[in-house]
Copies of this chain bind each other. A is one copy, B any other.
């Protein structure tokens, strides 16, 4: 880990490795190999060994990877050996599904608050949360020290919401609106859009 930054594409594979390892651990497994991981994930064993070796010495020739040890290390590298509070913006179908999603637990994240600008939604319950007014968003997020947010508002509002989130001190945004949002240096965005995923596949269909 001296000097050169790790390529983003390598960083992007670590959560996939971690997820597979956590699944094996839940099944009671203690040891795996780059071969086995590779078969599960459709990634070559050599690639997995190379990726992991950029972060340290996790496996032994012949004995493979100790699953709990590798999980502990990957959680540390990805900084999910803690729990990050998150804000959800937009209490429509997608925002509500996110706020109720059970899959964040034990993976480093927790929804802490949800916002909407629709007076008909503000004050209503979504999962464990009462929807807050977007007008209070910057203040609430800043006061709570929240640094991660998910945007689930219509495309036309997404950039303005992102600008507000940045103002509030958010450093990482997962954007569900179907357009690219721009953020300043030092803020991270990931876009998730079912249609772009689907179009990557239709390319290959007859």
Interface residues of A (CB under 8 A from B): 8, 11-12, 14-16, 18-20, 23, 40-42, 77-80, 84, 86, 93-94, 96-98, 100-101, 103-104, 107-109, 147-148, 150, 155, 171-172, 174, 178-180, 182, 188, 190-205
Q: Are B194 and A78 in contact (CB under 8 A)?
A: no
Question: What chain B residues lie within 8 Å of A191 (beta carbons)?
Answer: 16
Smallest CB separation, A125 vs chain B (Å)? 14
A108/B199 contact (C-beta < 8 A), A16-B180, A97-B94, A178-B19 known: yes
Q: Are B197 and A79 in contact (CB under 8 A)?
A: no
Q: How many copies does the complex hold?
A: 2
Other-chain contact of A11, B148, B174, B203 (Cβ < 8 Å): B203
Q: Are A100 and B109 in contact (CB under 8 A)?
A: no
Other-chain contact of A109, B78, B198, B204 (Cβ < 8 Å): B198
Question: What chain B residues lie within 8 Å of A16 (beta carbons)?
Answer: 180, 191, 196
Other-chain contact of A97, B40, B97, B180 (Cβ < 8 Å): B97
